[in-house]
Amino acid sequence: MNSLPSVFVSHGSPMIALEPGAAGRFLARLGGAIDAAFGRPRAIVAVSAHTLARAPLVLGAARHEAVHDFGGFPPALYGLRYDAPGAPEVAAQVQQRLAAAGIAAQHTDAGGLDHGIWTVLRYLYPEADVPVVPLAFVPSAPPEAQWALGQALAPLRGEGILLLGTGSITHNLRRLAGGVHGSPAADAPEIAESAAFRRWFAERSAAGDWPALLAWRQLAPHAAEMHPTDEHLLPWFVAAGAGGTQAPPRRLHDSVTFGALGMDAYAFGAEASRLDAV
């Protein structure tokens, strides 16, 4: 088993589960590409923008079910299931790694996969045959703290465990809400603010400009407009911390839905270049 890169993906709207679009098609290729380049992961540690806590919390259930943590969508979406095995022994490893780094994490035997996790995994591994360990993070903690969380888990990459961050590279739901002219179409042209933010993030990533990326809230164009709150971008920094600074982040996918919801995906670590062709 080769050491795996860590990965961040944008999950966008829950409707990606029914309407994959370009990002869903990318995710369907990504699982196979990871398997071909590195072997099937032994487990996935998933850090999602929708599983949050006041302190890091490891969900160590033996089995997880899809949680439909949203409202107002078509009935067909609520009928979808994604029931995956958990990995209690990996959950214990996660807690131990965090403790060794001075990060006090709690543990629960409860389970469940929020939509930021299961809508992604149903494309990566549609048979739901890879064990999953959700890890809740603290959304009020700064990017540096999220980086440290990922850095503490970096050794797990060499043990066949995929660290997956899932959020959105841009996320302002007010831009998607119906207004005078109604909600934008899924294929609406991208607004200028979204394009500028994504371009800045991609350029700073390609340059390996970690100080700028960590200070994105102060430096990125239209940061407040594209992220009124931080939680959807913070999993990027967990995945980045796990990948380390040996190589710059690599953008694997680049697309937008509804004109303002960025669906970019990144991989981290010296091994990440092996996924460039996804």
Domain CATH number, residue 34: 3.40.830.10
1 within some domain: no
Residue among 92, 234, 250 nearest 165 (CA): 234
Cβ-based neighbour number of residue 95 at 10 Å: 21
pLDDT tens digits, 127-145: 999 999 999 999 999 999 9
Tokens of 23: 């990002």
In a domain, 211, yes or no: yes
Q: Rounded to an integer, what is the distance from CA 269 to the centroid of its chain?
A: 16
Question: CA angle, 240 as apex, 123 and 149 as ends, to 5°?
Answer: 100
Give residue 90's domain range: 6-275
pLDDT of residue 4: 98
Average pLDDT value over all residues in the chain? 95
Asked, for residue 32, whether it belongs to a domain, the answer is yes
Dump pLDDT digits (tens) for 162-183: 999 999 999 998 877 654 455 7
Whether residue 192 lies inside any domain: the answer is: yes
Under 8 Å between Cβ of 65 and 81 = yes
What percentage of the chain has pLDDT greater than the value 90? 92
156 has pLDDT over 50: yes
Between β-strands 250-253 and 132-136, what pairing exists: parallel, antiparallel or unpaired? unpaired
Indicate if the pLDDT at residue 71 is higher than 70. yes
DSSP structural state of residue 173: G
Please check whether residue 246 lies inside any domain of the structure. yes
Number of separate domains in the chain: 1
In this structure, is residue 29 part of a structural domain?
A: yes
User: Residue 177's pLDDT is what?
Assistant: 63
